[in-house]
């Protein structure tokens, strides 16, 4: 059983479905603990109306306990600047070699924190990143793909929750490559392949 935990950042209005596959499979197949981190320890309501209770606040993170730090999307990323403490936390995680995974609009927080420099990445489209983050200058490393993993940074389109989960599992070594491919095919197609029960 892993000694570190999967940390999910819960901000008001977070897109609760985007990290769901990853969290379920990391717990089921990887035996990971899941911790919810908030900007504070106050309860947070998701876009879908789920209320979650953070187990810790951003300021109290123990970097040594984090196997991966997941940022789900949500409209808030497009409407508010990234909190300075979040930017500092992301930089500290990256410097410590802790994998960071951002999906959908949360990729704007990664871009604003300067973590995309020289790394292949994706988002909701190149034009989307350019519009949301005017200081973004990493178009040469942009990949038009559902999800991209490069040196501990995982990014994904908001339409790629399955591929996002698969890349996080790959980063943490959960399931074999063949099993991850099969898992992705099943969840993306909605069908079991012939001969699989």
Active site residues: 104
What's the 3-state SS for the chain? CCCCEEEEEECCCCCCCCCHHHHHHHHHCCCCEEEEEECCCCCEECCCCCEECCCEEHHHCCHHHEEEEEECCCCHHHHCCCCHHHHHHHHHHHHCCCCEEEEHHHHHHHHHCCCCCCCCECCCCHHHHHHHCCCCCCHHHECCCCEEEECCEEEECCCCHHHHHHHHHHHHCCCCHHHHHHHHHHHHHCCCCCCCC
């Amino acid at each position: 059983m892993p000694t570190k935990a999967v940390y999910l950042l819960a901000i008001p209005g977070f897109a609760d479905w985007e990290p769901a596959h990853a969290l379920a499979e990391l717990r089921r197949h990887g035996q990971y603990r899941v911790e919810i981190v908030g900007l504070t320890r106050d309860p947070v309501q998701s876009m879908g109306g789920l209320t979650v209770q953070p187990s810790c606040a951003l300021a109290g993170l123990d970097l040594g306990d984090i196997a991966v730090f997941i940022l789900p999307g949500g409209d808030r990323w497009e409407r508010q600047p990234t909190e300075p403490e979040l930017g500092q936390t992301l930089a500290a995680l990256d410097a410590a070699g802790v994998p960071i995974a951002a999906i959908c609009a949360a990729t704007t927080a990664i871009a604003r924190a300067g973590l995309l420099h020289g790394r292949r990445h994706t988002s909701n489209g190149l034009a989307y990143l350019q519009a949301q983050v005017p200081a973004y200058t990493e178009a040469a490393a942009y990949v038009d793909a559902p999800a991209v993993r490069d040196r501990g940074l995982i990014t994904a389109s908001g339409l790629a929750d399955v591929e996002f989960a698969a890349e996080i599992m790959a980063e943490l070594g959960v399931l074999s490559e063949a099993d991850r491919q099969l898992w992705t095919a099943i969840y993306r197609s909605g069908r079991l392949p012939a001969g699989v029960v």
